[in-house]
């Protein structure tokens, strides 16, 4: 098995591409080992000293490291953990549970989600992250940054100058975009 790595705009996050499907659908974001109870892969990565975040995408894994750690020391350990996991045949997520969706979205929310899904999420996935819609209220779109996007120095610029401008252009009801945890 050959695992490629790619830098992301976030210097604390590295993208690992195992050359196979990681998540059949959706994504999974873990910021602590306690959140990773249903993911053997994330648990094995959190067991490594210095891992502070794990994000699972369709064909990649991004790992966020502690500020006091360096990639030269961590990268071989992460590569080994990812390789061992996929060679073991264990599932990435055990007993996948679907996120609770909203019953019915109004037309504006449907348009926002469509634009995010078709124009934004594929681009940020290239950088090892994801942006998830949380809510639309009083003209403000609230988005949650995950993976390499969380804590990335350029995420504010992406949010304000990229996503906000695009949404305001296509959807006049949108006045602002804000990041939420």
181 pLDDT above the threshold of 60 = yes
Name the phi and psi angles at 54, rounded to 5.
-135, 130
Q: pLDDT-derived band of residue 146, with 50, 70 and 90 as boundaries?
A: confident
Q: Which two tokens stand for residue 68?
A: 């006091």
Pairing type for strands 140-147 and 176-180 reads parallel
pTM value? Answer: 0.68
Cα separation, 60 vs 81, whole angstroms:
14
Q: pLDDT-derived band of residue 96, with 50, 70 and 90 as boundaries?
A: low
| Beta carbons of 129 and 147 less than 8 angstroms apart | yes
Domains and CATH numbers, the chain: 4-88 (3.30.1370.70), 107-180 (3.30.300.130)
Strand pairing partners for 176? 140
Name the phi and psi angles at 114, rounded to 5.
-60, -45
Nearest to 95 by CA among 35, 33, 45, 37: 37
Q: What is the pLDDT of residue 33?
A: 92
């Amino acid at each position: 098995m050959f695992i490629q790595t790619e830098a992301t705009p976030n210097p604390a996050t590295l993208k690992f591409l195992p050359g196979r499907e990681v998540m059949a659908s959706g994504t999974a974001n873990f910021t602590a080992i306690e959140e990773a109870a249903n993911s053997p892969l994330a648990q094995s990565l959190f067991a490594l000293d210095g891992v502070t975040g794990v994000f699972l995408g369709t064909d990649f894994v991004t790992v966020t490291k502690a500020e006091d750690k360096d990639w030269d020391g961590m990268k071989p350990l992460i590569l080994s953990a990812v390789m061992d996991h996929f060679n073991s045949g264990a599932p990435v997520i055990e007993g996948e549970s679907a996120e609770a969706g909203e019953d019915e979205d109004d037309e504006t929310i449907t348009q926002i989600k469509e634009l995010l899904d078709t124009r934004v999420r594929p681009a940020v996935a290239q950088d090892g992250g994801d942006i998830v819609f949380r809510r639309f209220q009083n003209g403000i779109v609230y988005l949650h940054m995950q993976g390499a996007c969380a804590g990335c120095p350029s995420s504010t610029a992406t949010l304000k100058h990229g996503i906000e401008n695009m949404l305001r252009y296509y959807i006049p009801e949108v006045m602002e975009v804000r990041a939420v945890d």
